Amino acid sequence: MTDGDLLGGGAALEQGVFTLRAVDPAADAKLVHAWMNDPEVAAFWELAQPEERIAAYLREQLGSAHSTPYVGCVDGTPMSYWEVYRADLDPLRHHYPARTRDAGVHLLLGPSAYRGRGLGAVLLRTVSDWLLRTDPYAERVVAEPDIRNERSVRAFERAGFRLLRQIDLPTKKAAFMVRERAA
């Protein structure tokens, strides 16, 4: 993946061409702020903060040694926020038996028009396929959606993730989910 076209030409979906691009905190703070402050999103991401705090959060993500933030677009229109990370280097590793090179993924579908239509599962499969394809040493992709977010858990399951167990994290009770590399 390269900036501007992180899926090697994009992924053709029924809804249009999906691409990922690197987050630009200055340009994207207003957009991500609106998404994070949507009550449906805020209930699970818990980042309903002023725009300045969201910009700082995005800068923190960009500065991370193990996590990279992206904006997902369909036909060039921003519609999702992603964090792709090395789970084996993340504090999450203290809550499950991490394997070297475990990839991790967080997804936020921004505008409500993109939610509840099955698109989350398609995008999760697309991005987890990309993660496994671009890192030959990663054996699996992990995720830990809030257990209360039943729609998110179902989307991960439809994308090929299996619920292994519930885990208690500092900010939530999570569904620990794994998608293994296909043999």
Report d(CA 80, CA 89) in Å as an integer: 24
Report the Cα 120 to chain-centroid distance in Å.
10
Catalytic residue, from 51, 60, 144, 157: name it. 144
Residue type (1 letter), 111: P
Q: For the range 109-116, what are the long-range contacts, defined as Cβ-Cβ under 8 Å and sequence gap of 24 or more?
A: 109/79, 109/80, 110/31, 110/32, 110/34, 110/35, 110/38, 110/41, 110/78, 110/79, 110/80, 110/81, 111/35, 111/79, 112/38, 112/40, 114/74, 114/79, 114/80, 115/40, 115/151, 116/151
180 an active-site residue?
no
Identify whether the C-beta of residue 142 lies closer than 8 Å to the C-beta of residue 103: yes
3-state secondary structure at position 81 = strand
Determine which helix (DSSP H) or strand (DSSP E) holds 141, and give its type and residue range. Answer: strand 140-143
Positions marked active-site: 144
